[in-house]
Structure 1
Amino acid sequence: MNKDKILRAAQLANDDEGKRNTILKDQSIIFGFCSLGLLFILIIQLLHHESLNTVFFLVLLGGLGIEISQVIKKHSIISILTSILLIVAVVYTAWLIIIGK
């Protein structure tokens, strides 16, 4: 009886680890495609001599998402301070985009 419970718990833990690895691989693929998209937009805007605020906004927003996930995982003061700094930078860049600079 005890062996069955242990085996069942081990199988559940293995299933959870497999699901976690699949999610991480999917997130890496999505992040790669987003990075390629940002690079494409950056090149086009540089060729047309346009403002790069939208690209900076998207990069800062992505960094903010990553940093918030670190705050949730680690609860460190450095991650919290970095998140606050990124929030200010995102809001400022969004304001620049809104007013058209």
Structure 2
Amino acid sequence: MRAAYIAADPAKVALYRDRLSSLPWFMRCLNEPIARRANRENACTGRFWEGRYRCQALLNDAALLACMAYVDLNPVRAGISQDLATSEHTSARRRLLNIDPEQLLKPVAG
């Protein structure tokens, strides 16, 4: 019944099509229930994500590498793992596990 009501209104159809193709809308729908539950469990109010996350443009290769190092070192800083080699779910660990020992012994061409 609700689908027929929406389908009968071209403006609603256009609105829903726009929302279904919008990543920000999806993230809002995903994050809102999580934030409400976490606030309820922690008996707090306000924005759940406030002050914890920020967005920054990575404008060059150096900034990208610094960001990658920061992310890969998070489990070590948090005490979840002892070092990068034991840090699960990181790209650094994946790269370390795939190093060819023979490649380490070859001189770098200059």
Same fold (TM over 0.5): no
Q: Which has the higher contact order (CA 8 A, sep 6+)?
A: 1
Q: TM-score, normalised by structure 2?
A: 0.27
TM-score, normalisation: structure 1: 0.29
Q: Which has the higher helix share?
A: 1
